[in-house]
Amino acid sequence: MPLHTELDEVQKTQFFGMIQESLRVRTHFEFMLWSQGNVQEFLPHDIMIAAWGDFSLGLISFDIVSPLPNIRTTQVQHAKLVPLLKRLFNYWNEHNGAPVSMRMKHGMFAENQFGFDQLGNDFAKMNSGMIHAIKDSRGRHDCLYILLSTSEDMSTSSRSMLEALLPYVDCTLRQIEPIAVEVPKPAVTHMEETFGALSTREHEIMDWVKHGKTNYEIGMILDISAFTVKNHLQRIFKKLDVMNRAQAVAKLSMMPEQNASV
pLDDT tens, N- to C-terminus, the chain (262 residues): 455 457 889 989 999 999 999 999 999 999 999 999 989 989 999 999 999 988 877 778 899 999 998 888 888 888 888 888 998 999 999 999 999 988 876 554 444 455 676 777 788 888 899 999 998 877 668 999 999 999 987 777 888 899 999 999 999 998 898 887 665 555 544 444 434 578 889 999 999 999 999 999 999 999 899 899 999 998 899 888 888 898 888 888 776 554 444 3
Give the full edge-to-edge strand order of the sheet including 47-54. 59-65, 47-54, 142-149, 128-134, 100-103
Q: Are 47 and 151 in contact (CB under 8 A)?
A: no
- Kindly report the CATH number that applies to the domain delimited by 3-173: 3.30.450.80
pLDDT of residue 184: 55
> Could you give the 3-state DSSP secondary structure of residue 158?
helix
pLDDT of residue 229: 93
pLDDT of residue 21: 94
All structural domains of the chain with their residue ranges:
3-173, 190-253
Residue closest to 202 by CA, chosen among 227, 231, 226, 182 = 231
Helix, strand, coil proportions of the chain in percent (round to 5)? 50, 15, 40
In sequence order, what are the residues at sequence separation of 6 or more whose Cβ sits closer than 8 angstroms to the Cβ of residue 110? Answer: none
* From the candidate CATH numbers 1.10.10.10, 3.40.50.620, 1.10.150.120, 3.20.20.60, the one assigned to the domain spanning 190-253: 1.10.10.10
φ and ψ of 132, to 5 deg: -155, 160
Any idea what DSSP says for residue 73?
Answer: G
Q: Are 62 and 73 in contact (CB under 8 A)?
A: yes
Cα(99)–Cα(92) distance, rounded to whole angstroms?
A: 7
